[in-house]
Amino acid sequence: MRISVVITTFNRPKTVARTLETLFAQEFPSSDYEIVVVVDGSTDGTAAMLRGLQAPCTLSIIEQPNRGQGEARRVAVAAARGELVLFLDDDMLCGRRLLAEHCAAHLAPEDRVVLGPVFFSPESRRSVAAELACRSAHQFQPQPAFPDDAMTASNSSVRRSTLLAMPVFDPQFSRYLQDIDTGMTLWKAGIAFHYEPNAVTHHLYVKTAGEMVRSAWMQGSYDVRLSRKHPEYRPVCSAARLCEGPLWKRVARQAVARAPWSVEPLLRAPFWLVERLRFLPLLDRAARGMLRARIGIAGVRGVVAEAGSWKQASSEFGARLPALLYHHVGPVRPDACRPLTTPPELFARHIRWLAQQGYAGVRLSDWLAWRREGRPLLARPLLITFDRAYADIARHALPVLKAYGFGAAVFVITSQLWGGRGCDHSGAHDGVPLMSAQQIRQWAGEGVEFGTHGRRHRDLCTLSQRELDEELEGSQIDLKNLLDRPAIALAYPWGRFNQTVLNRTKRAYQAAFGHNPGVNCLGTDSYGLRRVPCSGRPLFALASWLKLGCGPFLLA
């Protein structure tokens, strides 16, 4: 037997029958595949209906009490006879060459998980829930990435022997989260993931808005469990958005999470009415907004319920990292770029105010360890960064930070390590001396982290592949030769990057800062970290960013 198709179902006889109809029509030898359907506690006659079907291939029906998808899949895999196992949901319409494409993709010598695309079926129920599901459906990347694509979702196939040898199908997870748990277990065990665009299925979406809301609560709860089991999943889980967004959104999330009862039921009647009037454009938008609000409320309360309290959930998933950006800190020089200069007394006032507000200085490596592994992080963390490594910061800035217990990250133009001067916005040298190799070594010994700002501070988006490698990997080598350890982060010169630059950066660094202003959260891309522009800005501009999450008009 070449391949076994595994489907789990619960009280969906018409839908699963439609799925099986497309599997019976496969352009694939009927003797080379079987279908194993686990009826997971259905009470509507699903098993009897399935036994009455005339299948061209072997069709096995397994009944069990309702134990969840993980246990149902485990039972199905144990009963399967195929060399490969293809997982499908009970609401998938399969392309006629689905089985052939999956089998062909497994001819590669490596052990792999094969992922196929899942498109939205036009046969789906027309509803607000279906539209939102279509817009938010996960699409795999041509080259699957970890942790985003580490899942054995519907339309994925694996060798049966691999599944039997791995600790998969954890019963504490169900449905979508069980897919991710299995996928991450396989990925971390070294199994390759491959995307096969020709293995096509279509999702026949039949869930109601109420079912969607209940699923959101379950996902919020299971996301906490899954993040504790697989810390690498933390940045992409729903809980990562707990403290994202402007102040009003964060306050609203906290209010609905801490309320003694959920406010979601209060939106059901208005949503029911608006959904029936959505032929009007304004009410159509209102219906989508109300359903998103209901899903958001349910998801947040699911997270908090599993975490134990709002305080525990926000500590585990809701830390926010303001990264302050400075350039030249020192006396105003006639040859310096004036907008990038912060007088020493203003800088000291900034740091003194931050200490009074209870901010705790952390290193970038501390933040990345919390983000990836859930390691403890100080309350109210703050990172202070300097671009271009002007020599004056060693005299006027770093001693102030040391006195108040703040760390720093300094980004160096590495071609100037042994003597050089900075550059202005046009790229021309501005005449202000940069830190010497000796100063960099000294402050690295004091706990300051040094990253790179390119080798020659060139716009990375305009470079050839060879030039890009020289800027990114060459600057990494320069700094490693100086400090005997690699830099963990890059500050994109001029803050600009594209997909090519991003892909190359990921090969050489653990993180990178872009040009977008703002505060970082768990879900912020580690290769597009945000910073609060502070060079030369008055104290109230800094306070506005940290208190409100945005800068004052014309200042941020």
Left (φ > 0), alpha (ψ -120 to 50) or beta: where does 419 sit? left
Residues 135 and 178 in one domain: yes
Residues 303 and 342 in one domain: no
pLDDT band at residue 553 under the 50/70/90 scheme:
very low
DSSP string, 389-435: -BTHHHHHTHHHHHHHT---EEEE-GGGTTS-EEE-TTSSEEEEEBP
Residue pair 440/451 in contact (Cβ under 8 Å)? The answer is no
Task: Evaluate whether residue 219 is within a structural domain.
Answer: no
CA 320/CA 536 separation, integer angstroms: 24
Residue pair 511/526 in contact (Cβ under 8 Å)? The answer is yes
What integer pLDDT is reported at residue 418 of this predicted model? 60
- Top pLDDT among 459 and 417 is at 459
Residues 68 and 160 in one domain: yes
Q: Could you tell me the end-to-end alpha-carbon distance of the chain, in angstroms, rounded to an integer? A: 64
- In terms of C-beta density within 10 A (0-12 exposed, 13-18 middle, 19 or more buried), how is residue 352 classed? middle
CA 95/CA 76 separation, integer angstroms: 23
Q: Does residue 397 register a pLDDT over 50?
A: yes
- pLDDT above 70: percentage of residues in the chain: 95
What integer pLDDT is reported at residue 428 of this predicted model? 37
Q: Does residue 138 register a pLDDT over 80?
A: no
- Top pLDDT among 435 and 555 is at 435
> Of all helices (H) and strands (E), which one includes residue 178?
helix 175-188
Residues 367 and 294 in one domain: no
pLDDT band at residue 544 under the 50/70/90 scheme:
confident
- Comparing 210-214, 348-352, 418-422, 426-430, the range with the smallest average pLDDT is 426-430
Q: Does residue 430 register a pLDDT over 80?
A: no
Q: Does residue 336 register a pLDDT over 90?
A: no
> Of all helices (H) and strands (E), which one includes residue 466?
helix 465-483
Angle in degrees, 0-180, between the axes of helices 268-276 and 281-307, rounded to the nearest 10: 150
Residues 55 and 141 in one domain: yes
Q: Which of 317, 335, 370 is the last residue of a domain?
A: 317
- pLDDT one-digit tens code per residue, 451-500: 999 999 999 999 999 999 999 999 999 999 999 999 999 999 988 999 99
Residues 444 and 494 in one domain: yes
pLDDT band at residue 433 under the 50/70/90 scheme:
confident
Residues 181 and 279 in one domain: no
Residues 281 and 334 in one domain: no
Task: Evaluate whether residue 212 is within a structural domain.
Answer: no
Q: Indicate the number of domains in the chain.
A: 3
CA 301/CA 252 separation, integer angstroms: 12
Residues 173/175/178/180 CA torsion (nearest 10 deg): -130
Residues 541 and 397 in one domain: yes
What integer pLDDT is reported at residue 209 of this predicted model? 92
Residue pair 337/392 in contact (Cβ under 8 Å)? The answer is no
Residues 342 and 485 in one domain: yes
Give the tokens for residue 513. 């800062």
Residue pair 508/496 in contact (Cβ under 8 Å)? The answer is no
Residues 69 and 135 in one domain: yes
What integer pLDDT is reported at residue 158 of this predicted model? 96
Give the tokens for residue 89. 């949901």
Q: Mean pLDDT across the chain, nearest whole number?
A: 90
| CATH assignment at residue 55 | 3.90.550.10
CA 417/CA 196 separation, integer angstroms: 47
What integer pLDDT is reported at residue 549 of this predicted model? 67
What are the counts of helices (DSSP H) followed by strands (DSSP E) for the chain? 20, 22
Q: What is the mean pLDDT of residues 335-353?
A: 88
Task: Evaluate whether residue 62 is within a structural domain.
Answer: yes
How far does CA 9 lie from the centroid of its chain? 29
- Domain carrying residue 260: 231-317
- pLDDT one-digit tens code per residue, 178-222: 889 999 999 999 999 999 999 999 999 888 999 999 999 999 999
Q: What is the mean pLDDT of residues 317-334?
A: 90
Q: Does residue 416 register a pLDDT over 90?
A: no
Fill in the DSSP letter of residue 436: P
Give the tokens for residue 408. 């720093």
Of residues 90, 78, 96, the one with CA closest to residue 25: 96
**Matching residue, tokens 């029906």:** 61
Q: Which of 317, 342, 370 is the last residue of a domain?
A: 317
- pLDDT one-digit tens code per residue, 80-104: 999 999 999 999 999 999 999 999 9
Task: Evaluate whether residue 222 is within a structural domain.
Answer: no
Task: Evaluate whether residue 375 is within a structural domain.
Answer: yes
Q: Which of 207, 242, 277 is the last residue of a domain?
A: 207
Fill in the DSSP letter of residue 59: E
Task: Evaluate whether residue 218 is within a structural domain.
Answer: no
Strand runs labelled E in 434-500: 449-452, 489-491
- Top pLDDT among 14 and 418 is at 14
What integer pLDDT is reported at residue 426 of this predicted model? 37
Residues 53 and 129 in one domain: yes
Q: What is the mean pLDDT of residues 13-26?
A: 94
What integer pLDDT is reported at residue 427 of this predicted model? 39
- 3-state secondary structure (DSSP) of residue 524: coil
Task: Evaluate whether residue 226 is within a structural domain.
Answer: no
What integer pLDDT is reported at residue 554 of this predicted model? 36
- 3-state secondary structure (DSSP) of residue 514: strand
| CATH assignment at residue 474 | 3.20.20.370
> Of all helices (H) and strands (E), which one includes residue 100?
helix 98-105
CA 76/CA 394 separation, integer angstroms: 65
**Matching residue, tokens 């907008």:** 339
- Comparing 15-29, 107-121, 373-387, 535-549, the range with the smallest average pLDDT is 535-549
- pLDDT one-digit tens code per residue, 51-71: 999 999 999 999 999 888 888
Task: Evaluate whether residue 74 is within a structural domain.
Answer: yes
Q: What is the mean pLDDT of residues 413-432?
A: 59
